[in-house]
Amino acid sequence: MDFVQNFPFMSILISLFSGPLCSILDGKRAKRVNTAVITIIGGLSVSVLLYVVRTGQAFVYRMGHFPAPWGNEIRVGVLEAFMAAFFCVIMLLCMVSGVREREEQIEESKQNLYYVMVNLLLCSLLALIYTNDLFTAYVFVEINTISACGLIMIRQTGRTIEAAIRYMIMSLLGSGLLLLGICHLYAVTGQLLMSNIKEAVQMLAAGQQYHITLMVALGLMSVGLAIKSALYPFHAWLPDAYGYATLSSSAILSSLVSKGYIFLLIKIFYRVVGFELVMESKVANVLFVFGIIGMIMGSVNAIRTDDVKRMIAYSSVAQIGYIYMGLGLATEAGTVASIYHVMSHAATKSLLFVAAAGLTDASRGEAHFIHPTRSTRQWKGITSERCSNAEQKAADECAHESKDITGAAYRNKLAGVAFTVGALSMVGMPMFSGFISKLFFAQAAVGHTHKMLPTFIALAISTVLNALYFMKTVIRIYTPVSEGIGRKVSVKEQPAKSAALVCFIFLNLILGLNSEPIIRLIQGGLEMFG
């Protein structure tokens, strides 16, 4: 066995033990440990990726000396190594961008606990990516959930605690359904390793045995993971969780946490039951329908909100709908498009949250924007109620006292450019990763008898809705305002956040302009996946 084959297990182990280590350190030392851990694991993941690409085949790493069904193992191919490296890059940039906000919004005595949660979250994501054992995956799903709740509520405001409780309730429902599905599979197969379960399922399906049990198990696991990843209509916890958590937490939650559950679901489809059973059970059709509904309703809710962070959060509901629509096509092309969109959404959503934080900094902490029709009525109300018989000039002064993100792109130029790039990507403009995602979704649907037309219609409607709320926001932040409104933020004032924004912009452009080798890598990974 080559030494590099130890790296995936070492990555999980390093992140797992760095959590307790951070708990006994102060906040500053814990931050250094966390940064070092993410960087080291990212380097190990890149090494594994290069090794697997060079050898051209996946490898299995057995933990301990016991074979199935008692033993546990890791299975690593191109896709697993690539996603692990990509997740580490995103997490590192999210952590770097939110240093100042964490110091301001989290009590000094609890900052080390934040890094405990981040390390455990990274550990759980790596385990979900690498594990070849279904019950081990469930264990780390729970660790992922607990860590995410900690990231939400560590800010300790009423809204974050409420959001964490709502998230926990929905996640427990999803976890329960997932566990029931695993129990059903174990009852009829006697196996927990994914590859062994697939062999047993194929034998049972060929002999027409336990057909209903297999359908129920697949349905329970699919619905459970869909709930945990906030597929519409199981998204009620998401806007508050993303909108009121710290910057790093919002960026990590939106870009990575739900993607771990989606990646596990893809592994279940390919490595546990096979797509033939997925198509036969009609689970794919259900995911397809709810994915399309999520694409539309997530965007509708985003249009209706007046807070930029909540708007980005509702946009995540729509983008998760895209991913499930692609999985619902039940084809390799649809899965490739969904995996690519996982990456596109992770890079773009992190960019948007960090850019939005920069815009709110330039607006003295205010994240609201005012719709033109509402603002007209509001200023009329101010003129009549607060300024009574004063001249129009006095009314204008009352209006200017209001805080919102109008003109914020002039006060923080880099954040304005970054938000515009993220918005254009979400809308689907050429050059950006969002355009490539929508293009591949459309190509995947071509020739599909019953799903091609609904896919095209959903893509068109969702794109128009995306343009409505993102372009409205871009226009708002570039609307000129009087001098003295808000405060100017320079790049030198926030070097870490500025560097992260530049990296996110380049990452988005790389995904958009150099998508072909990435798609080939995903396709090669799926060939090794089964």
* DSSP calls for 42-111: HHHHHHHHHHHHHHTS-EEEEESS--TTT-EEEEE-HHHHHHHHHHHHHHHHHHHHTHHHHHHHS-GGGH
Please, what is the Cα angle at 176 between 179 and 88, to 5 degrees?
75
Beta bridge pairs of residue 75: 60
pLDDT tens-digit readout, 47-61: 999 999 898 888 888
Q: How far apart are CA 67 and CA 62, in angstroms?
A: 8
**Reduced to 3 states, what is the DSSP secondary structure of residue 483?**
coil
Domain membership of residue 516 (yes or no) is yes
Is residue 359 a part of any domain in this protein?
A: yes
> Which of 20-24, 165-169, 207-211, 226-230 bottoms out in mean pLDDT, i.e. has the lowest?
207-211
Is residue 309 a part of any domain in this protein? yes
Render pLDDT for 333-367 as a digit per residue (tens, 0 to 9): 889 999 999 999 999 999 999 998 888 877 765 55
The number of domains in the chain is: 1
Question: What tokens does 441 get?
Answer: 């979704």
Q: With respect to residue 97, please indicate whether it lies within any of the assigned structural domains.
A: no
Look at residue 523 and tell me if it is in a domain. yes
CB neighbourhood size of 297 (10 A) = 19
Question: Domain limits at 517?
Answer: 282-369+404-530
- Asked if the structure places residue 353 within a domain, the reply is yes
- Whether the pLDDT of residue 396 is over 50: the answer is no
**Average model confidence (pLDDT) for the chain?**
84
DSSP letter, residue 270: I
My answer on whether omega of the bond before 233 falls inside 30° of 0, hence cis, is yes
**CA 180, CA 447: separation in Å to the nearest integer?**
36
- Paired tokens of 284: 């794919």
How many CB atoms within 10 Å of residue 339? 28
251 vs 149, 242, 246, 504, CA distance in Å? 14, 8, 9, 12
Is the whole model's pTM more than 0.75, yes or no?
Answer: yes
Sign of the dihedral defined by the CA atoms of residues 58, 55, 522, 344, in that order: positive
Give the C-alpha separation, 274 to 317, whole Å: 27
Tell me whether residue 530 is in a domain. yes
Q: What is the 3-state secondary structure (H, E, C) of 484-495?
A: CCCCCCCCCCCH
Give the pLDDT confidence of 402-430 residue by residue, as tens digits: 457 777 778 888 888 999 999 999 998 88
Residue 450 included in any domain: yes
The CA distance from 311 to 317, in Å, is: 10
Three-state DSSP class for 402? coil
**In a 3-state reduction of DSSP, which class is residue 307?**
strand
Q: How far, in whole angstroms, is CA 393 from its chain's centroid?
A: 46
Percent of the chain, pLDDT > 90?
34
